[in-house]
Structure 1
Amino acid sequence: MVPARDVGGAMSIGIRPFEPFDLPGMYRVCLRTGDSGRDATALYNDPDLLPHIYAGPYPAADPGLTFVAADEQGVLGYVVATADTHAFDGWLEDHWWPPLRARHPRALATDPGDGTQDWQRVEHIHRPGPPEPEALYERYPAHLHIDILPRGQGAGLGRRLMDALLAALRERGVRGLHLGVGSGNPGAHAFYLRVGFTEADRQGWGSVMVRDLTR
């Protein structure tokens, strides 16, 4: 565990490996940062749909690559990752998506026209999308998601979470790491540049960022 420290004299934040009791807090953080870093609560009728995709499966598949930041109020940030994206995609198909597909039938993947985005997440559950290009996967097989609530931002938590993850990945001999950053979140793009990522590709939806872990 990374020792807790005072931030502005107001709170003490520690970073530690994931424990099963962290999951509800992680789900709340995912939802409250799920609109390009902003609170996505109003966008979902089912508050668990977004974190079912971007938070929950990672500690289930490999809890050793999930780290949380917590203070006296609970979880306020986390990083989740997989060391092998293609293997993770296979695990999702075998273990994670089937019960979610049964609970959320494909017929629900229709826009109700009320501004909510549940239907988009249902579509993702049934059609996760194509795998990463082989060239990207070969050099940067791991990927991550990191989210921090506003009350924890500006305290260096992002870098500390990233350092914990990078150490775990390097210990496993993982070659490289990638992630996607939406065009609506320039703050996240700037953060990843500061912690050593580079932009490998830019498209209409955003950027693919990469980091070589062999150096």
Structure 2
Amino acid sequence: MIDRPQPATGFGIRAADTDDRAEIDRLYEICVRTAAAGEDATETFEAPRLPGEIFVGPYLRYAPELAWVLAQADQPASGYVLGVADTASFEQTLEREWWPALRDRYDPEAVREGTADARAWEWITHPPTAPAELAAAYPAHLHIDLLPEAQGGGDGSRLIRTLLGALRARGVRGVHLGVGKANTRAIGFYRHLGFERLTEGPGSLTLGMDLRA
């Protein structure tokens, strides 16, 4: 476990407590509150846990050793970074164990076409996978989300560097992430940290970093 001292902002980094139901629920909450290009999407979902089911739950379940939270002393988390070292293996595990359970848990008849729930349901039923070339060169991937009160003080950079250090310690050669083109602030943040553009889709970019440098 990697724990970091608290900086001047008052936020410290600690390993996520994946056995604490309240902490898991908090990270799901952060996920939906940052799901609209970094803004709060809670009101756009009829089932607001759906983003967390995609971008939080499987990481806490299958890669808990690469999950950290940002929090002030004795306070709930205000941000997190989650990652996996082997994207291809992770995707195979989710198809065997995670997505089928979600498909059984949620009622597709209750999902209205064209809604945020429908877009999440499409991900659950037809989850995208990383191209083989990308997964070979940049096998790890990550997600990071911070609530507004935790932004702008350098703590997001500290979170990312904590994860990158753990990946390097495991000998991982590279890491990638996806970001919406509309989220220009996040794109600038990642590029400042050293991520470079790898591919571009209709509404998103894939950025990557070589961890051997």
Same fold (TM over 0.5): yes
The percentage of counterpart residues that share the same residue type is: 41
The partner residue of 2:104 within 102, 105, 113 is 102
| Structure (1 or 2) with the greater strand fraction | 1
Q: Which amino acid aligns with 1:97?
A: W
Q: Is the 8 A contact 1:83 1:142 kept in 2?
A: yes
Taking the TM superposition and a 5 Å limit, the aligned residue runs for 1:154-165 are: 154-165=152-163
2:33 corresponds to which residue? 32
Q: Is the 8 A contact 1:108 1:119 kept in 2?
A: no
Corresponding pairs, count: 207
2:199 corresponds to which residue? 201
Which 10-residue stretch deviates more, 66-75 or 175-184? 66-75
Q: How far apart are residue 128 of structure 1 and its match?
A: 0.6
Cα deviation digits, residues 122-180 of structure 1 (max 9, x gap): 12111112x22222111101111100000000111111001110111011110100011
Q: Is the 8 A contact 1:106 1:123 kept in 2?
A: no
Aligned-partner SS, 2:176: strand
Cα distance in 1, alignment partners of residues 141 and 209 from structure 2? 10
Taking the TM superposition and a 5 Å limit, the aligned residue runs for 1:40-55 are: 40-55=41-56
TM norm structure 2 = 0.93
Which 10-residue stretch deviates more, 30-39 or 18-27? 18-27
Aligned-partner SS, 1:4: coil
Cα distance in 2, alignment partners of residues 174 and 86 from structure 1? 13
The partner residue of 2:167 within 169, 186, 192 is 169
2:176 corresponds to which residue? 178
Q: How far apart are residue 6 of structure 1 and its match?
A: 2.9
Cα deviation digits, residues 9-52 of structure 1 (max 9, x gap): xxx21101111222111111101001010000111011111110
Please tell me the root mean square deviation across aligned C-alpha atoms, in Å. 1.3
Cα distance in 2, alignment partners of residues 172 and 178 from structure 1? 16
Taking the TM superposition and a 5 Å limit, the aligned residue runs for 1:98-177 are: 98-108=100-110, 110-111=112-113, 116-129=115-128, 131-177=129-175
Cα distance in 2, alignment partners of residues 96 and 120 from structure 1? 18
Gapped regions of structure 2 (runs ≥ 5): none
Gapped regions of structure 1 (runs ≥ 5): none
Cα distance in 1, alignment partners of residues 11 and 78 from structure 2? 9
1:6 corresponds to which residue? 8
Q: How far apart are residue 105 of structure 1 and its match?
A: 3.8
Cα distance in 2, alignment partners of residues 109 and 91 from structure 1? 26
Aligned-partner SS, 2:97: helix
Q: Which amino acid aligns with 2:125?
A: H
TM norm structure 1 = 0.92
Cα distance in 1, alignment partners of residues 169 and 122 from structure 2? 36
Cα distance in 1, alignment partners of residues 126 and 109 from structure 2? 13
1:77 corresponds to which residue? 79
Which 10-residue stretch deviates more, 24-33 or 66-75? 66-75
